[in-house]
A and B are shown apart, each in its own frame.
Chain A
Amino acid sequence: MNYHLNHLKELESEAIYVLREVAAQFERPAILFSGGKDSIVVAHLARKAFYPAKLPFPLVHIDTGHNFIEAIEYRDWLVKEIGAKLIVGSVQQSIDEGRVVEEKGFNASRNALQTVTLLDTIEKHKFDACIGGARRDEEKARAKERFFSHRDEFGQWDPKGQRPELWNIFNGKKGMGENFRVFPLSNWTEMDVWQYIYSEKLKLPTIYFTHKRQIIERDGQLLAYSDYLITKPTEKPKEMQIRFRTVGDMTCTGAVISNASTLEEIIEEVASSRTTERGTRTDDKRSETAMEDRKKAGYF
């Protein structure tokens, strides 16, 4: 007898277990949904975890206002498809209300501002656990992250004081005002996510596949030309055949030159790629500890 699961099935089972723990241990959990492939996989796994019941958590989208239109269309389609509740936290509203001040200059991005909107949204809806699609292979600070990641009442992460996490016992106990971030895909790699999307035949926003787009080349990054991007006089958009490896704020998500039009082709491309997917993110390149610093402050 071969009682054995392949690695994707094992990772799926682990993630479903984590999602069920969230539903059992918390009163007001939510899924942080960006429209990116990782959060799409999380939403799919949540659907599996509670079948035939409906998703016991809403999807929360922190909207920078600088979205790829394709990602928003996808979000709205998915919400309908799985019958989920959608809650939107708006960075534009945080700016209008004076909660945050927009960055200035050519590299201005709303990426960092999201943290304030995120924490405000968590507080407003009294979420006690926010489920995210972050993976430990993404970035070195994330490699230290727990499945159940404790946040103090200021939403901060204390990397040196994390709770030990043993076997599959997750400790979601917390004091007043504290909350958790939960990462069911902790042990997945970028390749695992793509393979899973392929084997589950999941639908994705079209920007993950090859298309023609007006691009600004800046410091080795290919940025989508849009009204949100402040361009230097010397920068001229150029039409290129590209796709995106991650979906984030338009102003800091870089494209890659690619002809990959199917999931198989993307998998081939990822397998032979020599840079990480976060290599296309200018938000991580601000300093060596950009991710750790943002995470400590309460970022995703």
Chain B
Amino acid sequence: MTTNGYLDMELLRFTTAGSVDDGKSTLIGRLLYDSKSIFEDQLEAIKLSSERRGDEHVNLALLTDGLKAEREQGITIDVAYRYFATPKRKFIIADTPGHIQYTRNMVTGASTAQLALILVDARNGVVEQTIRHSFIASLLRIPHVVICINKMDLVEYKEEVFEKIKEDIKAFIAKLDLKDIHFIPISALNGDNVVTRSKNMEWYNGPTLMYLLENIHIASDENHIDCRFPVQYVIRPISTEYHDYRGYAGRIAGGVFNVGNNVTVLPSGLTSKIKSIDTYDGALSEGFPPMSVTLTLEDDIDISRGDMIVRSQNMTEVSQDIDMMICWFNERPLQPNGKYIIRHTTNEVRGVVKEIVYKMNISTMHRLENDKKIGMNDIGRIKIRTTKPLCFDNYAKNRITGSLIFVDEATNETVGAGMIH
């Protein structure tokens, strides 16, 4: 690994989901192990733990189960983040537990992922959880989905088994909004088609999992059309040199901004021109997502945190009435007419739940129009009204300006996540 080669790598964030014994942790362990991202002291530590537990093999799952309670129970409780790199890409894995009660973790992991890795046990084929995971990948708009049919070694590496499961999955995902889907037959335990091609499945001509992770095209995943700049912080240096400096700091959420662009500040509707796009390393002529920059404008207008700067010919929606899909995280169910703090981009308002339209049965993908109780790990469609207008896009158009969270006013906990329609 040369110094310069490493400097110019792409970052790919992916999430993994699987049922309890699908071998998800084993697969991650395998990816880390085969890419030499596991260090001797880590391996030594899990070897000792495996022996203590009386495991037959070195239990690679122990690498990802970081908390005492997780190792004791042999389950993953919380989202764990793992890192590995190959000479081509650096990877961030959001490893999420697959049990039904942990839908919230799956949604959390999915929210920042560019790719979803879904595991299916070749012996069991499509199960409820496969449907649930695919639904969440679709709901959270993960651009790429890779479905690994695992434990092929336990079905004698038979092509028919793989093809049958693939057809079953294709049948139900037709109803979902998934664009780029790949299927790979693997054995995480033995390493078949994970990093190296399997000699046991000569009938499979597709890429290995690692090849796909390294080469899948991600450069077009960002929205480069609709210019969105949520103002995060106003920079006003109290110094002689920068006496009149007033910069709007933030992370570009969409589009390409250029110096000289006509912009509108929402929700006020005031207009101006971009004077400069500043960074510590010098001014830029253009900025695009996900850059953190500081904009200055030609005119001295009133702008504060929570405002959104957009190109004048392409605005967001501005409304107090918001229709969304919601995923609920808290033991206390979503309260009809309940009031919550709503956090959207850098903005914070209060909102009241106006209507619960339906609840999803995410194992069957049916809408339950008559069951409107949205409890922990439930997903549903709701309408809210906010105290002040929000400037938003449809979540399908922009994952940053189209998402929001619900915060409980009494406990300050994050209790729900919404994807705007």
Contact = CB atoms under 8 A, between A and B. Distances in A.
A292 B68 contact: yes
Interface stretch (B100-108, B130-138, B260-268): B100-108
A202 interface: no
B42 interface: yes
Interface string A265-300: 001100101111011000000001100100000000
A4 B78 contact: no
Interface of A: 1-14, 16-17, 20-21, 23-24, 47-54, 136-137, 139-144, 159-160, 162-169, 171, 173-175, 186-187, 189, 191-192, 195, 198-199, 264, 267-268, 271, 273-276, 278-279, 288-289, 292
Contacts of B50: none
B219 A276 contact: no
B69 interface: yes
B373 interface: no
Chain B, interface residues (CB within 8 Å), range: 35 or more
Contact of B232 (A7, A10, A24, A144): A24
A191 B85 contact: yes
A10 B11 contact: yes
Given A24-B346, A143-B66, A276-B39, A164 B83 contact: no
B237 interface: yes
Nearest to A276: B39
Contact of B80 (A4, A144, A264): A144
B291 A52 contact: no
A4 B11 contact: no
Nearest to B242: A52
A136 B81 contact: yes
A23 B281 CA distance: 21
B412 A174 contact: yes
A7 B242 CA distance: 32
A268 to B, nearest CB: 8
Contacts of B227: none
9 nearest A-B pairs in the assembled complex, by CB-CB distance: A140-B66, A53-B237, A173-B412, A48-B280, A7-B11, A279-B41, A16-B292, A166-B111, A51-B280
A141 B241 contact: no
A169 B3 contact: no
Nearest to B8: A6
Contact of A169 (B79, B279, B280, B404): B404
Contacts of A54: 237, 239
Contact of A173 (B39, B291, B407): B407
A137 B83 contact: yes
A166 to B, nearest CB: 4
Contacts of B399: 167
Given A144-B79, A165-B108, A169-B343, A267 B3 contact: yes
A163 B345 CA distance: 18
Contacts of B173: none
A8 B89 CA distance: 11
Contacts of B45: 288
Contacts of A164: 104-105, 107-108, 329, 414, 417
Given A144-B66, A195-B6, A171 B81 contact: no
A192 B7 CA distance: 9
Contacts of A8: 7
Contacts of B242: 52-53
Contacts of B241: 52
Q: Which of B42, B222, B236, B256 has the most C-beta atoms of chain A within 10 angstroms of its own C-beta? A: B42
23 contacts: A2-B219, A4-B10, A13-B290, A16-B251, A21-B346, A24-B233, A51-B235, A51-B278, A53-B238, A140-B65, A142-B66, A144-B78, A159-B78, A160-B67, A163-B414, A165-B414, A166-B112, A167-B399, A174-B412, A195-B6, A267-B6, A271-B6, A276-B41
B145 interface: no
Given A13-B292, A198-B3, A292-B68, A166 B405 contact: yes
B15 interface: no
B90 interface: yes
Contact of A192 (B49, B81, B90): B90
A21 B280 contact: no
B400 interface: yes
Nearest to A200: B281
A17 B251 contact: yes
Contacts of A174: 412
A121 B64 CA distance: 34
B42 A276 contact: yes
A239 B405 CA distance: 57
Given A187-B83, A191-B85, A276-B41, A171 B407 contact: yes
Interface string B50-93: 00000000000001111111010000011111110100011010
A150 to B, nearest CB: 8
Contacts of B297: none
Given A166-B112, A166-B414, A292-B68, 7 more contacts: A3-B256, A20-B250, A186-B81, A189-B85, A189-B90, A191-B6, A198-B7
Contacts of A175: 412
Nearest to B235: A53
B341 interface: yes
A21 B288 contact: no
